[in-house]
Amino acid sequence: MKLDGKVALITGGNSGIGSATAALLAKEGATVVLTGRNQARGDQIAQAITEAGGRAIFLRADVRVADDCRQVIEQTLERFGRIDVLFNNAGVYHPRTVPECTEQEWDETIDSSLKGAFLMSKYALPSMIERGSGSIIHTSSGWGIQGGDHAAAYCAAKGGLVVMAKAMAIDHGPDGIRVNCVCPGDVDTPMLPDDAGRRGMAWDDYVAGASDRPLGRIGTTEEIARAVLFLASDDSSFITGEALVVDGGGIAG
């Protein structure tokens, strides 16, 4: 098992990529702390992991709120004594151009991804620095590396995460802490049907468009989870400041 005895904290752990990653990290021996705003869904995911033989709890937190982030880190440290892996994965997407995007949508997009990753890292880092080790992974996107249509705030948030990871890698490499991004392409989670609906597109047409990439399909949550496991574990011990694109070749061209 690649994460035996480790403690992993996952934001947005109660859905999609986060819940698949929680299940995989738990299977690899980690004690997993999931966060999100929806308590019922979080409890359900934690229970499913426990029933499968893993160790998981859900702690409610809105990553846009500093006190929530501080409390979830404090509770994790009080309960389990350490945080080895921080997966900053929470995020929302509003399909908007700049003129269409409201200030509230801009703030929600930036704050749930970029500010949330900043706040969680800010409160987790002191204990990692003290222990001299840790792996922090942010969920960016292919659209954190190249632009996409109707996604100005989202691209700003995800692009910000890529460069923030590099800056953090420079600051905290000497502390024994690695910081990387995973950059998924289109992945089968609740985010995609939501986007299709808001763009007024039929699901089949949407998926056909999203599958127009070298590997000819959208990704699964498990495929992203395996990349996160790689970045979380010692298998990537000499990798920091990297943005690992997992998108079936979507931005290869």
DSSP-based three-state secondary structure for 184: strand
Interacting residue with ligand NAP among 21, 31, 135, 189 (CB under 6 A): 189
3-state per-residue secondary structure call for 46-87: HHHHHHCCCEEEEEECCCCCHHHHHHHHHHHHHHHCCCCEEE
Task: Show which residues are catalytic.
Answer: 154
Interacting residue with ligand NAP among 141, 233, 236, 240 (CB under 6 A): 141
Interacting residue with ligand NAP among 7, 26, 33, 36 (CB under 6 A): 36
Reading across the β-sheet that carries 7-10, which strands appear in turn?
55-60, 31-36, 7-10, 85-88, 134-139, 177-184, 243-246
By CB under 6 A, residue 240 contacts ligand NAP: no
In angstroms, the Cα distances linking 95 to 5, 119, 155, 196, 250 are 41, 25, 11, 10, 19
DSSP-based three-state secondary structure for 98: coil
Rounded CA separation 118/243 (Å): 17
DSSP 187: B
Judged by beta carbon, residue 38 or residue 97, the one nearer ligand NAP is 38
From the list 33-41, 79-87, 164-172, 197-205, the region that binds ligand NAP by CB under 6 A is 33-41
Q: How far is the CB of 20 from ligand NAP (least distance, A)?
A: 8
By CB under 6 A, residue 228 contacts ligand NAP: no
List binders of ligand NAP among 61-120 (CB under 6 A): 62-64, 89-93, 112-113
By CB under 6 A, residue 159 contacts ligand NAP: no
Judged by beta carbon, residue 28 or residue 186, the one nearer ligand NAP is 186
**Can you give the binding site for ligand NAP, defined by CB under 6 A?**
11-12, 14-18, 36-38, 62-64, 89-93, 112-113, 139, 141, 184, 186-187, 189-192
